[in-house]
Amino acid sequence: MLTRAFLNKRLASGPSLKTFTKSNVRTFVVMNKYASQTGVRAITSGAKVDLNNYKSLNSVPLRFFSDLPPHVKLQMPSLSPTMEKGNLAKWCKKEGDQVEPGDILAEVETDKATVDFEMQEDGYVAKLLVEEGAQDIALGELVAILVEDEDDIAAFKDYKPESSSNAPQKTPKAPEPATPTSEPAKTPKPTPAPKASSKPITQPKKSSPAQAFVSSAPASLNYEDIPLTQVRKIIASRLSESKETIPHYYVTVDAEVDRLLELRSMLNNHSESKISVNDMIIKASSLASKKVPQANSSWQGDYIRQYTNVDVSVAVSTEGGLITPIIREANSKGLETISAEMKDLAARARENKLKPEEFQGGTFSVSNLGMFGVAHFSAIINPPQACILAVGGSQQRVLPTEEEGEYRTANVISFTLSSDHRVVDGAEAAIWGQHFKKYIETPELMLL
């Protein structure tokens, strides 16, 4: 047991954060910002904290000792690697509620998705410090107070934090003092009326087409300004960055899918989870990426990282925007497993119930718009990945046979691979397309 005297002694001349290791459990001691006022240090609840349970140090609850009863200050945690701010979409607990480890305190909208703020210890919710629906809450900003004893809740009825964020605040510049003067204030002279002029009135300059459109728009024009969600902001930022910084190029292959449709129909007679065409495309793309590992790589600035397994990110449209749940190690999974996982991930994605690790860190992406009647399109690469496959819809085409002058019909899908030319050369993308087409047109090879 770490005593307060021991902690104060260890912290007296050291930095604000010390690490103690014992029995594979790291104990963190944190100096609180009120130490100069109260003379008391802040330590993590229970003195011992297993950091494997926390996303980051910001999410570790801090126990404070002051004139108030012992309490834990819960901060806005980091719920994704790129998260800087979050929106508090919904409180799942109210003041006075008891909580236990694993309970969901709130739903937080990050730059990726809506993620559960999960409790790591027990107690009672004494105070909720931000309103439900609050926007752009900085990491480390206090959001709630937790106490051990139910009787201590009343002490926090009127509690207000001195500073709501750990982020450095900009200090407003003090106004410069006015220079003293002994001269009396001068009364401004009245401006003389303009003289009549016989010069012709100068015509205003012509406005640009955009300006002309705005100025000529009727005052009764109806419209609605839709606020941007965190997800929409990050989609806009990342995809703009992708098109501006990644040298995209596109390779399209047309593949007949009649044999694939026949195999799918046969497998579904014996499969518990109905296999879709998209499930088979995920499998084929993962196997082709094993054949051409350059497609299963990422640009890292000073080097190219090539991955051993193929984790396929699959684009799913939701009300909040596009999200890409991941089929991990798709190259080593059977079609039935891929189908079951994809159904579960897509359903939870539309309910904003995905965990961060379920949509972060893919190595190759697939985007399918064929179900919307789209014949062909090109997708934007999802950095730092090197490739994304765009899937169009199936179309019946008339194709020549081996016999001269004879024709046949076949169902054909256009597949377009968008590649990062820094990572994948054109010939490599073409070879990837050949392997992929072979798996689509001879789907039995995917079962080997």
Residues catalogued as catalytic:
421, 425
Which of 91, 87, 128 lies closest to 106, judged by CA?
91
E strand or H helix at 213, and its extent? helix 209-216
- Enter the tokens of residue 188: 């401004």
CA atoms within 13 A on the CB side of 447: 8
Q: Which amino acid is located at 30 in the chain?
A: V
CA-to-CA distance for 132 and 117, rounded, in angstroms? 13
Residue 282 CA, chain-centre distance (Å), reads 22
How far apart are the C-alpha atoms of 310 and 332, rounded to whole Å?
A: 9
Q: Measured between alpha carbons, how far apart are the two ends of the chain, in Å? A: 58
Instruction: Report how far residue 87's alpha carbon sits from residue 90's, in angstroms, rounded to the nearest whole number.
Output: 9
- Cα of 300 vs its chain's centroid, Å: 19
Name the β-bridge partners of 104. 118
- Mark residue 82 as left, alpha or beta (left: phi above 0; alpha: psi -120 to 50; beta: remaining): alpha
Instruction: Decide: 47 and 30 in contact? Cβ < 8 Å.
Output: no
Most distant CA atoms of the chain, gap in Å? 108
Q: What angle do CA 279, 282, 283 make, to 5 degrees?
A: 90
Query: How far are the Cα atoms of 270, 343, 364 from residue 266, in angstroms, in the given order?
Result: 7, 20, 28
Please name the amino acid found at residue 363: T
